[in-house]
Amino acid sequence: MRVGVLALQGDWQAHAAALARAGGAAEPVRTAPELDAVDGLVLPGGESTTMLNLLDHGAMTDALRTRIETGLPVLATCAGIILLAREVVPEQPSLRLLDVTIERNAYGRQLASAVVEVRAAKELGDGPTMEGVFIRAPRVRRTGPGVTVLGWRGEDPVLLEQGAVLAATFHPELTDDDRVQRRFLRRIGGSR
Ligand code: GLN
């Protein structure tokens, strides 16, 4: 099994390192053939508008949409969840594959970056909370009926699952807690 990290922009190296710590060596994905070759994909944090432009520029948008629609396991964080959202506030193009409404940069300027306790759903195992690193994070305003919430910041859903897509508004790759990575790797039939 081959694990890819979309490496056009953003904090893809931190994801590759976190996956390696969790037992899944990852490779950077920058082209459509590289996308074709992986069995699971991380969409990292960064700047969602830039990432969309780079995907378009590399003629990867349609290929990415098709692969996710046909069940490619995905771990999307921060800007990655914005890329997938059905609806983005303020409005911007997105792949519209994850049934959420999400507001960019929604936690306000003074909280632009913060480490916040995230309440973790039982099925994640290993205790009721996890550290969430939020960096100019988006806020989930609505979740559709097919979306399961696995983590909360106060009342806000911050870790979500829909089919083979696992998505966080925070950055699980920046802490030692590898529950999210392990859950993603299990989806691709990877280690643990
Ligand atoms: N604010 C960024 C965006 O809207 C996301 C921030 C991040 O990925 N750390 O794309």
What are the tens digits of pLDDT across the range 91-148?
999 999 999 999 999 998 766 789 999 999 999 998 999 999 999 999 999 999 999 9
Mutate to test the pocket of ligand 1, among 47, 94, 103, 171 (most ligand atoms within 8 A of CB): 47
Distance CA(165)–CA(98), nearest Å, equals 8
117 catalytic residue (yes or no): no
44 lines ligand 1 (CB under 6 A): no
Residue 163 has pLDDT above 50, yes or no: yes
133 lines ligand 1 (CB under 6 A): no
Residues of the domain holding 15: 3-189
Ligand 1 atom 4, closest CA = 104
pLDDT of residue 177: 96
82 lines ligand 1 (CB under 6 A): yes
78 catalytic residue (yes or no): yes
Please identify which of the residues 15, 34, 78, 161 carries the catalytic annotation: 78
pLDDT of residue 13: 98
- Number of domains the chain is built from: 1
**For residue 99, which of 161, 42, 45, 158 has the smallest C-alpha distance?**
161
Distance CA(159)–CA(170), nearest Å, equals 8
Rounded distance from Cα 29 to ligand 1 centre (Å): 19
pLDDT of residue 92: 96
pLDDT of residue 129: 97
Query: Which residues does residue 22 pair with via DSSP β-bridges, in sequence order?
Result: none
66 lines ligand 1 (CB under 6 A): no
Q: Which backbone phi and psi does 67 adopt, to 5 degrees?
A: -65, -40
pTM recorded for the entire structure: 0.95
Residues 6+ apart with CB under 8 A from 37: 2, 4
pLDDT per position as a tens digit, 46-98: 999 999 999 999 999 999 999 999 999 999 999 999 999 999 999 999 999 99
42 lines ligand 1 (CB under 6 A): no
Task: Check which CATH number belongs to the domain holding 96 and give it.
Answer: 3.40.50.880
Element (H, E) at 4: strand 3-6
pLDDT of residue 190: 45
User: Quick check: 97 and 65 in contact, CB under 8 A?
Assistant: yes
pLDDT of residue 6: 98
Ligand 1 atom index nearest CA of 77: 8
Distance CA(192)–CA(190), nearest Å, equals 7
Measured CA distances, 13 to 16, 20, 35, 156 (Å): 5, 11, 17, 28
Distance CA(9)–CA(181), nearest Å, equals 20
The rounded Cα 63 to chain-centroid distance in angstroms is: 18
Rounded distance from Cα 7 to ligand 1 centre (Å): 15
C-alpha angle 21-123-154 in degrees, rounded to nearest 5: 95
Measured CA distances, 111 to 11, 93, 115, 116 (Å): 20, 26, 9, 10
pLDDT of residue 112: 76
Mean of pLDDT values over 35-42 = 97
